[in-house]
Structure 1
Amino acid sequence: MTAKTLPVLDSKSALLLLVLSALWGGSFFFGDIALQEVPPLTVTLHRVIWAAPIVALVMKLKGIAFPRSLLFWGASVVMGALNNAIPFALILWGQTQIESGLASILNSTTSMFAVVVAGLFLADEPFTFRKFVGVMLGTAGVVFIMGPDMLGDFSLGNLAQLAILGGSLGYALAGVWAKRTMSGHPPLACAFGMLICTTFLLIPIVLMVDGAPRLVLSIPVWGALLGISALSTALAYVLYFIILTRAGAGNVLLVALLTPLFAIALGVCFLGETMAPEIWIGFAIIALGFAVMDGRLGTLLMRKLSIIAHS
């Protein structure tokens, strides 16, 4: 990517990007509170069932028609499983064993999985050497976080970390599926279809595994459930597509690096969490891998060097 083709991130887009990062970082905070009284699968159901009507209302206000195609709804079922049901449940279960800040850092590897999956299944997104280096750095960061003793002394915490990485893989697969099957529909319609289908997928599973959801919950837990649904899901989807339109996909990916910072700050300030030094080092390695894959850091560096050389 040349300097002339770098996406422009204006001040409004940058502010929206920070808000989106805070909302998605808040999902780990809200999830941690909700899990005090509600099982992971039921929290996942709450997250989508309350978000769907909010997205529907936004669609109505924007005059976006509700799709009627059977192909769309069939694709939405798969999308709901890959992008909502599976990753939400895995991440929330992981949070029952490890800190929300660490969960958010491991979830930031979604971009690493995305370039690998896209390289395998999308002809227009080849797996280049630069992406390979970025993925290797991201993998090294994860290994550093999980620790070299993982294979010899595998713990429930390690299983939780793998579960969150599985959720990240689900997000990556969902991105490819969406591009192949849902690209012709309005983004908010895709979000609505996904939320509705996820709801119907989860209801029988939750009833079998957790039983009927309890409605007698503490005020903080209800607040967390509403927060993770209305703010971290419904509003976050709306903001995501606004930023995507204004600033392009390259800038939206910056959320992957900013989200953990908000999640960690909330966890430290309100949940009493602490992040060990190796977690920060691992996150730094993952961030470096992201910067290599993104390519703009290197481009900007080369521009600076060129300016210095010709001055």
Structure 2
Amino acid sequence: MTLINWLLLVLLGTIWGGSFMFAKVAIAEIPPLMLVFLRVLIAGLALHVVLRARGLSFPRTPKLLAAFLIMGLLNNAVPFSLLFWGQTEISAALASILNATTPIFTFMIAAVLLGQETVKLHRISGVLVGFAGVSLMLIPTISGIGHDPLWAQAACLGAACSYGLAASFARRFSDLSPLISATGQLTGSSLIMLPLAIWSSAGWSPADVSVHVWLNVLALGLLATAAAYLIYFKLLSEAGATSASLVTLIVTAAAVLFGVTLLNESLTAYQLGGLAFLLLGLLILDGRILKHFSR
């Protein structure tokens, strides 16, 4: 990768790491499902503006619109809802660590369930090491000595699994412009979340939300979703999917840093140990570090 690509990768990881902080601040005053709706609506509208500015038309064929709904469900509506729901009880740092299992679930779904990936020894080893890290993080809760609810941590793992399903489903959009795919899924998830947001927000009023929180909502929609997609697509086109996948490691590091320094969060020894195992598992799963040492 070029220096510009590396800088974009770090920028993207920092932005997506910041999304956990933006969400943690926002859910203090906005119901989780309403926050999901606001995030995808703001981002979707922004990308429609970008589409129009670039002279691209939004497809309207029924088959493609249905695919956008499914992709919006798997890649936005479900994972965002689970992450925000989980963050009502656990820290942004811990949520980001659990969400870093996404590449593991992606490989398991693509290789084991769908046969889209080749099963190799280093990938199996990476999965086992990664899940060892997750198990280590869950030990305090399961044994009764931890304070982070199991359901909240399971919700974040469920979000990672949904991202894995979305990654496999997204293969059908390979012939479509990534910008159109992103706009389509955000449009679909906005339609899905609208009734759920209204249903879950009885008694809530936008007037009760502080300016500080609204700024975090805008950052979540415009910066951490719309702008982040544009950066990600540029990386995909210039550096490839394998190099772009390194963003997972940066996201976790940035989210932990923001959580500890700006939100005064802390991680237990079990969580730090689990993070170390998980990151090692991701490096083994990726395989490039093994090729480097073998050379």
Shorter-chain TM-score: what band?
over 0.9
> Partners in 2 of 1:156 and 1:103 — Cα distance?
11
Q: Does 2:141 correspond to 1:146?
A: no
User: What is aligned with 1:191?
Assistant: 182
> Partners in 2 of 1:15 and 1:295 — Cα distance?
22
User: What is aligned with 1:205?
Assistant: 196
User: What is aligned with 1:6?
Assistant: none
Q: TM-score, structure 2 length as denominator?
A: 0.95
Kept in 1, the 8 Å contact 2:90–2:148? The answer is no
> Partners in 2 of 1:213 and 1:78 — Cα distance?
29
Q: Does 2:159 correspond to 1:167?
A: yes
Q: Deviations over 1:265-284 (max 9, x none)?
A: 11112111112222121111
Report the AA paired with residue 205 of structure 1.
L
Match of 1:261 among 244, 253, 257: 253
Q: Deviations over 1:243-271 (max 9, x none)?
A: 01111111111111110111111111211
Match of 1:296 among 285, 288, 291: 288
> Partners in 2 of 1:124 and 1:248 — Cα distance?
18
Aligned residues: 294
> Partners in 1 of 2:115 and 2:105 — Cα distance?
16
Match of 1:248 among 240, 247, 260: 240
User: What is aligned with 2:36?
Assistant: 44
> Partners in 2 of 1:23 and 1:258 — Cα distance?
10
- Per the TM alignment, residue 156 of structure 1 is displaced from its structure 2 partner at its CA by 6.1
* Distance of aligned partners of 1:263 and 1:148 in 2 relative to their CA distance in 1, 3 Å threshold: closer
User: What is aligned with 1:71?
Assistant: 63
Give 1 or 2 for the bigger CA radius of gyration.
1
Kept in 1, the 8 Å contact 2:141–2:147? The answer is no
Consecutive unaligned residues of structure 1, counting only runs of 5 or more, are: 1-8, 304-311
Report the AA paired with residue 178 of structure 2.
P
User: What is aligned with 1:4?
Assistant: none
Kept in 2, the 8 Å contact 1:97–1:160? The answer is yes
Matching of residues 1-311 of structure 1 within 5 Å: 9-147=1-139, 150=142, 157-179=149-171, 181-211=172-202, 214-216=205-207, 217-303=209-295
Report the AA paired with residue 276 of structure 2.
A
Report the AA paired with residue 46 of structure 1.
L
Consecutive unaligned residues of structure 2, counting only runs of 5 or more, are: none
> Partners in 2 of 1:29 and 1:222 — Cα distance?
13
What is the CA RMSD across the aligned residues, in angstroms? 1.6
- Per the TM alignment, residue 92 of structure 1 is displaced from its structure 2 partner at its CA by 0.6
- Per the TM alignment, residue 39 of structure 1 is displaced from its structure 2 partner at its CA by 1.0
* Distance of aligned partners of 1:176 and 1:195 in 2 relative to their CA distance in 1, 3 Å threshold: same
Kept in 2, the 8 Å contact 1:116–1:127? The answer is no
Report the AA paired with residue 228 of structure 1.
L
Report the AA paired with residue 211 of structure 1.
A
> Partners in 2 of 1:272 and 1:297 — Cα distance?
34
